[in-house]
Structure 1
Amino acid sequence: MDCTEYRLLMTARIDNELDAATMAQFAAHVANCPECEEEYEALSGLSSDVRMHGERYAAPAHLKQRILSALPHRPPVSREAGKWPWAWINFGAALASSAAFVVTLGLYMAAPTSTNGLEEDVVSSHYRSLLVGHLTDVASSDQHMVKPWFTGKLDFSPPAYDFAARGYTLIGGRLDYLHGRTVAALVYQHRQHIVNLFVWPEQGKDGTAQQSVSRQGFQLLAWSDHGLRYWAISDAAPQDLAELRNLLDAQIRGETSSGSQK
């Protein structure tokens, strides 16, 4: 496919409507085509802004009446005693279907979508990093090299630590684009598994309960702490991601406690 065909697939990719093979082809093309990458990022950012900031409305009450009014009119049919005429049965079924449609539409329009959209962005970024060989911009297990590399490239300092002694080796970091903003991606290797840990500032959500979900064969773990939002993703077991989070939390708490005592 050429660029024109891939650009036609962008909205389908954002809405997660591509099959696995087409998604892999799309990710490989975008990673190697600056023009398509720029257009895809702009479209993804617009979609994220709409999901996060766009107003949502419940289906109005008069919608039900409009749907019922649009149903074909059936003249009354005489019926024998003790029997329901098929016309009335059909009308009752149509009425029930219409009511169900109204309720479903209202629930759909009221349902939040930003989290689901973020989950899909995390999966896409993780999958793309594995597919096209762009796992790291700075390849090093030295946390004193990885952390300073982000200086000047981001408006925050991501917590880069190596936990090789506990089975989580820091192999590097990179810049990534996630949910409408540039984020830090810290890359760990745990046995045969690659873990991407995405980090960005998010005020006002410290101490939120962690969220664990499974998407497209990957495990995702999200949490917030000290003004930062974390999303970890891997094909490792959920408890492995939870252990990485505990190691990171313990390291940050130890540094915070040490700093407050000085």
Structure 2
Amino acid sequence: MMCDDAGLLLHAYLDDELDAADSAAMARHLSECSACKARYETYAIMQKALSEPTLYRRAPDALRAQWTTPPAASTVVPLPARRRAPVAWAAAAGFAAAVLLSVPAWLHWMPTRGTGDAIVAQAISGHVRSLQGEHLMDVVSTDQHTVKPWFEGKLDFSPRVKDLAGEGFPLVGGRLDALEGHSVAALVYKRRLHVINLFQWPAEGGSVPQATTQEHGYTVIRWTGDGMHYVVISDVNEADLKQFALAFQNEANPLMSR
């Protein structure tokens, strides 16, 4: 199964509407493709968010009485077309409010103005997704010599792993993730109670200086250097995240992995 085919079947698979053969094919594809698996997990989070009981409210008794007690025939007066508009707007507003309650959903649907913005949107989505349940780390360790070897055989590149505890950013683990259709290494650091995700994957071409973006309460810093793309994201304050990025880039850091 190709990714395009999987994309068409994702929602049906999520709703358990596929036959046995297609369901098995989807399960096999998701186990092999980290990008499609990330999309599936995002949709699953959105579905769960939209099914939360807190989204629903009991109708007032007076309104419920109108549903159960038909009015007399002589009192039935059709609403003019212009009077129905507020009802339609209210329904649309209710749906929009429900969507906005699901963070991964609006991250996938928000307008994309360029490649950089797409990376930012996917990084935020990946960061939010990592905080759900047990998605944060595949390998849990504060030792860079444990985290770095864990990626061997799982990626076609060797990620740079640094322990920045001395800078106030202890390494706590790592996992596999996906950005722009690439399998990427995600290193997880902490700043007090804040989680910092650092994504990295191979790059072609020269270095690109840092670019900082703030969206939806998150700061995203991305740059290219030493043959790698880097994207770091957190809800920590911007100054701290810039300090983290500088510490990671510092070639003089004696804790830099080899």
Q: Tell me the distance in 1 between the aligned counterparts of 2:127 and 2:173.
A: 14
Q: For residues 43 and 144 of structure 1, do their structure 2 counterparts lie closer, same or farther at Cα, with a shift above 3 Å needed?
A: closer
CA–CA distance in structure 1, aligned partners of residues 9 and 203 of structure 2? 36
TM-superposed CA distance for 1:117, in Å, is 1.3
The answer for the alignment partner of 1:197 in structure 2 is 198
In structure 1, the partner of 2:74 is: none
1:246 maps to 2:250:
no
Q: Name the residue aligned to 2:21.
A: none
1:132, distance to aligned residue in structure 2 (A): 2.7
Residue type of the partner of 2:132? L
Whether the 8 Å contact between 2:34 and 2:183 is mirrored in structure 1 is: no
Provide closer, same or farther for how the CA distance between residues 254 and 130 of structure 1 changes in structure 2, counting only shifts above 3 A: closer
Residues 50-69 of structure 1: matches in 2 within 5 Å?
Answer: none
- Report the Cα distance in structure 2 between the residues aligned to 1:125 and 1:236, rounded to whole angstroms: 16
Matches for 1:146-185 after TM superposition, within 5 Å? 146-185=147-186
Structure-2 change in CA distance of 1:148 and 1:44 (3 Å):
closer
Alignment of 1:80-229 (within 5 A): 113-206=114-207, 208-229=208-229
Indicate if the aligned counterparts of 1:143 and 1:160 stay in contact, CA closer than 8 A: yes
Percent identity, aligned pairs only, is 37
- C-alpha distance in 2, partners of 1:43/1:164? 32
Structure 1 unaligned runs (5+)?
Answer: 11-32, 46-110
Distance of 1:142 and 1:6 partners within structure 2: 37
Alignment partners' CA distance in 2, 1:181 and 1:223: 16
Q: Which residue of 1 aligns with 2:236?
A: 236
Moved over 3 A (4+): 33-45, 252-255
* 8 Å CA contact 1:44, 1:179 repeated in 2: no
TM-score scaled by length of structure 1: 0.55
Letter in 2 for 1:221: I
The Cα shift of 1:239 comes to 1.3
Task: Provide the residue aligned with 1:18 in structure 2.
Answer: none
RMSD: 3.3
Q: Distance in 2 between matches of 1:253 and 1:155?
A: 27
The two structures have a TM-score, normalised by structure 2, of: 0.56
One-letter amino acid of the structure 2 residue matched with residue 7 of structure 1: H
Q: Distance in 2 between matches of 1:130 and 1:43?
A: 16
Determine if contact 1:44/1:180 at 8 Å carries over to the other structure: no
* 2:105 corresponds to: none
CA distance in 1, matches of 2:223, 2:154: 23
Q: What is the CA deviation profile of residues 37-57 of structure 1, one whole-angstrom value per residue up to 9, with x for unaligned ones?
A: 579944999xxxxxxxxxxxx
Could you tell me how far apart the structure 1 residues matched to 2:137 and 2:37 are? Answer: 24
Report SS of the residue matched to 1:160.
coil
| CA distance in 1 between partners of 2:221 and 2:239 (Å) | 10
Query: CA 1:190–1:40 in 2, change beyond 3 Å: closer, same or farther?
Result: closer
Distance 2:229 2:215 in 1: 19
Cα offset, 1:202, TM superposition: 0.6
The answer to whether the 8 A contact 2:34-2:178 is kept is no
Q: Which amino acid aligns with 2:11?
A: R
Stretches of structure 2 lacking an aligned partner (at least 5 in a row): 1-7, 15-25, 40-111
Kindly tell me: are residues 158 and 40 of structure 1, through their superposed partners in 2, closer, same or farther at Cα, counting changes over 3 Å?
closer
